[in-house]
């Protein structure tokens, strides 16, 4: 089977205060045929359109917290779904308060919503899985910010176990049984032998993973969840000289994000949520690279393609 | 005295559904040292920043109606004012409902607002003046849309009457009396003559004017208020072939806007609020010009300089 798509598109890389024509926080994860929107700062719908995303295909939106630069694009996006006569259900996940936020926004729309909008407030942030579909499993991570804040870990779903054709042939198992084994069933042969599904199938390699960690101070509580993820987005709001400021405002520095990435042994770190004081994101990314090499500088429109199969040390393609 | 600035900056020219990297409705009126924001669609704060507007100088915001493409930029702009530690009062004018909208938005901010935010709900839309300051008088106009909708007419304040120096000199009035006359006082001369302020001063020509009419169907109820205004912004959502669609959705066509401009004998018509089906605004502006010549095609970043003194037939400078 061909590996599917696993890509992250950066829609907004800026912190709270507008600067340098950057947009506030939003990213789109594309796994196989599924699109997942993560955070939705003001203008996200314009960015989605600019980069050619078919927004009707977004079925889930994951909100980290209720600060404006992560959520003020929701009212416009919901209105646009309504104007486009969306009919598919839309699910929004977020911290406590997201339900009330959406209810107020719906109170502003002048017509009855034509699609189902379901909000889910997440309270368990200890890595427990709260969502899955054909493509991914998603779990919630404990971030530490000025307000309740949820990180997200997306894991590509493993394909179902594949037949161990070599063994099946070697043992002369008739092909008529193969399909049942592949489906997950155990099989009883006419000669009395019992074939266990688990023994005649092979575990596929683990799926790719993406963790989204913003906004947050540097916290080692994240480490257990981030071990060896393929792509870690961790905010890099400030250069490390502003470590005290970062902590005061509930943010992280470049060096802190890079240290976490190194400790968690992730394959690549994506930067973002830049303070308005920095014109060039490369300044921040370069400081990360003094600690941890595989750093991708987040910028509006950047698409990061997480490859399959993994190749040790190979940089990810970006578009 | 030098004539002051009277400029309109287009921040967003698009209708409700995002298209072609246009932004939703917003314009900035700049009269002398004062800045007035009219409508505040999503992303307005990014546009203000892009075009170098010092947003702390905005003291009044005029909202036409509570559809998202005219108002969803307010939450972000208010949050940014807060992050910038604004201290000056901010006034927001709009239709009934604007107060509740702002209260909900303020409920989302995590900190106590450090500046006074005052909402004014406008119910009298018959051209009555509801606001004035040193630079302008503003009155509310009756628009007809799917929801309550307010148009705005800005009139530059007349300067105070100027001395009629020719007459003063011809009659040999001593210059020591001039200042009192200019201040608005009557003057008693040593020879017993009484000089009336009104007789020895000249009325200044009327100040420049700008009318903002969106969203609305074509309505002749606007005519009395628009007579000879210097610049009329009237929505041109559709080409005239979609006249029925325009009416159904509470909008106007190019030809309708141009006919109103011609009937009101305005000096120039500014187009905008383009439907997402049109890529090039010039298509719409050209259809307006088949009815009425002085049409300015509204586009993001366009600045229209309304000249002083008026010159018959001269086109306005745009930047």
Has residue A158 got a pLDDT over 90? no
Instruction: Collect all residues of chain A within an 8 Å Cβ-Cβ radius of residue B69.
Output: 76, 79
Which one of A75, A84, A104 has the shortest CB-CB distance to B72? A75
**Contact present, B54 and B80 (Cβ < 8 Å):** no
Percent over 70 (pLDDT), chain B: 97
Residue B311 CA to residue B122 CA, distance in Å, equals 35
Decide if B18 and A80 are in contact by the 8 Å CB cutoff: yes
Contact A45 B50 (CB under 8 A): no
Enumerate the domain spans of chain A: 6-159+204-318, 162-201
B3, pLDDT greater than 80? no
- Given an 8 Å threshold on Cβ–Cβ distance, is B68 in contact with A50? no
Strands (E), A98-230: 117-121, 129-132, 136-142, 150-156, 162-163, 187-188, 194-195, 201-202, 209-213
- pLDDT tens, position by position, B237-280: 999 999 999 999 999 999 999 999 999 999 999 999 999 999 99
The total number of residues written for chain A in this structure: 319
> Which of B17, B2, B12 minimizes the C-alpha distance to B64?
B12
ipTM: 0.88
Kindly list the residues from chain A whose CB atom is less than 8 angstroms away from the CB atom of residue B21: 46, 49-50
Residue of A72, A104, A146 with shortest CB distance to B104: A104
H helices of A140-253, in order, are 165-170, 178-183, 223-226, 243-248
pLDDT at A317 over 60: yes
Tell me the average pLDDT across A239-253: 98
List, for residues B46-75, the tens digit of each pLDDT value.
999 999 999 999 999 999 999 999 999 999
Of B18, B76, B107, the CB nearest to A45: B18
* pLDDT mean over A256-278: 98
Beta-carbon pairs below 8 A across chains A and B? 84
Q: What are the residues of chain B with a beta carbon less than 8 Å away from any beta carbon of chain A?
A: 16-19, 21, 23-24, 42-43, 45-46, 49-50, 66-69, 72-73, 75-76, 79-80, 83-84, 101, 104, 107-110, 146-147
Instruction: Examine the pLDDT at B301 and tell me if it is beyond 80.
Output: yes
Helix (H) or strand (E) run with residue B12 in it: strand B6-12
Q: Which of B272, B265, B269, B243 is nearest to B256 (CA)?
A: B243
Chain A nearest-CA distance from B125, in A, is 22
Q: How far apart are CA B52 and CA B123, in angstroms?
A: 34
Closest residue of chain A to B103, computed from CA coordinates: A104
- The predicted model scores a pTM of 0.89
Residue A40 has pLDDT above 70, yes or no: yes
What angle, 0 to 180 degrees and rounded to 10, lies between the N-to-C axes of helices B281-289 and B254-264?
A: 40
Of chain A, the end-to-end C-alpha distance in Å amounts to 25
Which of B42, B76, B108 lies nearest to residue A66, judging by beta carbons? B108
Q: Is B100 exposed, middle or buried (0-12, 13-18, 19+ CB in 10 A)?
A: middle
Could you tell me the fold of the domain covering A6-159+204-318? Answer: Metallo-beta-lactamase; Chain A (3.60.15)
Mean pLDDT of chain A: 94
Residue of A39, A69, A215, A230 with catalytic role = A69
- Please say whether the beta carbons of A127 and A223 come within 8 A: no
């Amino acid at each position: 089977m061909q590996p599917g798509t696993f890509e992250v598109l950066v829609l907004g890389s800026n912190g709270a205060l507008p600067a340098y024509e950057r947009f506030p926080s939003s990213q789109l994860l594309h796994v196989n045929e599924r699109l997942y929107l993560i955070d939705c700062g003001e203008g996200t719908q314009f960015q989605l359109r600019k980069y050619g995303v078919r927004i009707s295909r977004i079925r889930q939106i994951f909100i980290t917290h209720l600060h404006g630069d992560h959520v003020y694009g929701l009212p416009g996006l919901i209105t646009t779904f309504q104007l486009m006569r969306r009919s598919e259900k839309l699910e929004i996940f977020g911290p406590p308060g997201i339900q009330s936020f959406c209810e107020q926004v719906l109170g502003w729309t002048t017509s009855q919503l034509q699609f189902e909008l379901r909000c889910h407030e997440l309270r368990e942030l200890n890595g427990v899985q709260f969502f899955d579909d054909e493509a991914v499993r998603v779990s919630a991570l404990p971030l530490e910010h000025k307000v309740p804040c949820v990180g997200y870990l997306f894991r590509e779903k493993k394909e179902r176990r594949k037949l161990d054709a070599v063994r099946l042939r070697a043992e002369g198992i008739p092909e008529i049984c193969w399909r049942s084994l592949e489906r997950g069933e155990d099989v009883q042969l006419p000669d009395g032998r019992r074939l266990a599904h688990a023994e005649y199938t092979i575990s596929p390699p683990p799926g790719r993973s993406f963790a989204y960690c913003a906004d947050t101070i540097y916290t080692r509580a994240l480490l257990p969840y981030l071990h060896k993820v393929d792509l870690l987005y961790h905010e890099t709001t400030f250069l490390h000289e502003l470590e005290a400021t970062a902590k005061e405002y509930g943010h992280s520095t470049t060096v802190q994000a890079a240290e976490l990435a190194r400790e968690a042994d992730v394959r690549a770190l994506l930067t973002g949520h830049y303070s308005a004081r920095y014109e060039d994101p490369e300044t921040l990314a370069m400081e990360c690279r003094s600690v941890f090499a595989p750093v991708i500088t987040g910028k509006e429109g950047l698409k990061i393609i997480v490859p399959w199969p993994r190749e040790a040390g190979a940089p990810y393609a970006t578009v």
